[in-house]
Structure 1
Amino acid sequence: MRSAAAGLSAVGAAAMLSGCDPSPEELSRKQFGPPTEVAAFSSVAECVATRDYTQQQCEAGQRAAANDDNRTAPRFADKSVCEDQFGSGSCQPRTDGGQSFFSPLLTGFLIGQLANGGGYRYGGLYRDRRDDRSYTGSGAWLYNGGYGGRNYRYQVGSSAITAPVTTSRIQTRSSVVSRGGFGGRSSTRGGWGG
């Protein structure tokens, strides 16, 4: 009887502690605003195959992501720090404005429709090897994969697609550790939608 009560108390305490941490969705909303639906693709062919977008829209999405990659990709001072997050062989040296750094390879693009008939917004995606999720250059992660029954639909914080992203700060090992990694996911790791 006593051990059963102690076990229940431990379960209750764990539940209370986990209830104190905000969910990944709450963290994303706090940093990037309310969720908006986006479509994520690794290629133009994958995008066109959905029949939700024309060849031209898919090509525009991939082109915009490639054109913006040097400006929006996460930047790291050391190759090892970049590869810790994005995988061995997934980071390349770059320079911009006289600064040298390492950035992950672009792994896809997203298409998001802006509100009030404002057209489409495109962005690049980077695949984190630790949790196998895609992130925008600003560190906003895509969640609730398969949204609307379609496995290429996700949600992301709305400011991740409405505001232009410029990554100028080069991250060091200490800055990445203090934030819990790219995207600042320090308090939670499991149970993300997707």
Structure 2
Amino acid sequence: MILTAIKEEAPQVGDHLAMDLLNTEARNDGAAVDYWHSGEEVRAWLARQGVVVAHGQVDSAALHAQAVALRTLARRLIAARKDEEEGGADDADIAALNAYLHAYLGAPHLARGGDGKLALTRTARGDAIASLLGPVAEAVAQLLVEGDFTLVRQCEHPDCILWFYDRTKSHKRRWCSMALCGNRYKAAQFRKKNSQQDSH
């Protein structure tokens, strides 16, 4: 059963765009929660991530379908890389990610930033959907190639499936969020300890 997330936004606890992509699916009390039910929700998520929203018309249903497919693909690729599966990622999955990357056409663009200094950016030149999902696909590819996968982790809370890239100095981060899962876990351990003491 998939619950509808009512006006909730996907948590931004991943510390990496690829991790936050995976975190658009979560779990709450054992039930799956999908934060994307439409292309509009995908566009809102992309805007929160700082991905420039394409101008002009975007087929909402097509954007939603392609974003969900990219998320599923990214989960397979990242899990395979994390698990160091024999031979790594599947060639078909690599080809599928390349399809997103190849559709993401861009050109260098020189412009003045808000501080008046010149800055070199990339301007999307492909179709609207490829322009929106391209930066996300590129983040997944960069993580696969350059990421330290000892720092790619899932939250240790048993009811949580969120991912994060551990950028802490000690590299001992255990929870997607200390305020959420860390405190829930500590409270559960406290209740468990107290109930054991009461039974003696």
| Structure-2-length-normalised TM-score | 0.23
- Indicate the structure with greater helix content: 2
| Structure-1-length-normalised TM-score | 0.24
- Indicate the structure with greater strand content: 1
